């Protein structure tokens, strides 16, 4: 199954059957570079949603830990370094995933997270004030 941008995420449920789900990157596909032309209300709203997803120190730390990781990281491996309860870590991961910044895959009962490289490129372009960002 592919999303409107053609990206597909593969899930590995406990039964071993391979499943796919589309990933909605709508906040990233609708936001516009800050140095670009005047933002529409829709672009400003989508950009604000993206910044809101990064607006918690714990989420910034999660992004930092995942950028440094070579492979997808299990939610259970993030609890100790963050010093937060597993439910709180899961909440922050969901917000980052919903914003399109992370990819999520299930392996058995655990979820593994990694940085969405395309999203990080768009995020860097969003705040690049030198060239007007990505267009």
Chain segment 44-86, per-residue pLDDT in tens: 887 888 889 999 999 999 999 999 998 999 999 999 999 999 9
Q: What is the DSSP letter of 7?
A: -
**How far is Cα 116 from Cα 16, in angstroms, rounded to an integer?**
24
**How far is Cα 128 from Cα 16, in angstroms, rounded to an integer?**
43
| pLDDT at res. 47 | 81
Give residue limits of the domains in the chain: 25-126
| pLDDT at res. 133 | 46
Band of residue 128 on the pLDDT scale cut at 50, 70, 90: confident
Q: State the fold for domain 25-126.
A: Arc Repressor Mutant, subunit A (1.10.10)
| pLDDT at res. 9 | 38
Band of residue 96 on the pLDDT scale cut at 50, 70, 90: very high
| pLDDT at res. 31 | 59
What is the average pLDDT across 105-111?
93
Tell me if 112 sits within 8 A of 73, measured CB to CB.
yes
């Amino acid at each position: 199954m592919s999303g409107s941008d053609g990206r597909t995420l593969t899930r590995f449920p406990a039964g071993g059957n391979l499943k796919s789900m589309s990933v909605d990157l709508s906040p990233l596909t609708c936001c516009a570079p800050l140095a670009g032309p005047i933002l529409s209300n829709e672009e400003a709203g989508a950009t604000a949603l993206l910044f809101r997803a990064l607006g918690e120190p714990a989420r910034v730390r999660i992004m930092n830990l995942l950028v440094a990781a070579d492979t997808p990281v299990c939610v259970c491996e993030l609890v100790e370094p963050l010093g937060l309860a597993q439910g709180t870590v899961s909440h922050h991961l969901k917000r980052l995933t919903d914003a399109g910044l992370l990819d999520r895959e299930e392996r058995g009962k655990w979820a593994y997270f990694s940085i969405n490289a395309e999203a990080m490129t768009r995020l860097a372009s969003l705040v690049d004030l030198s060239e007007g960002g990505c267009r």
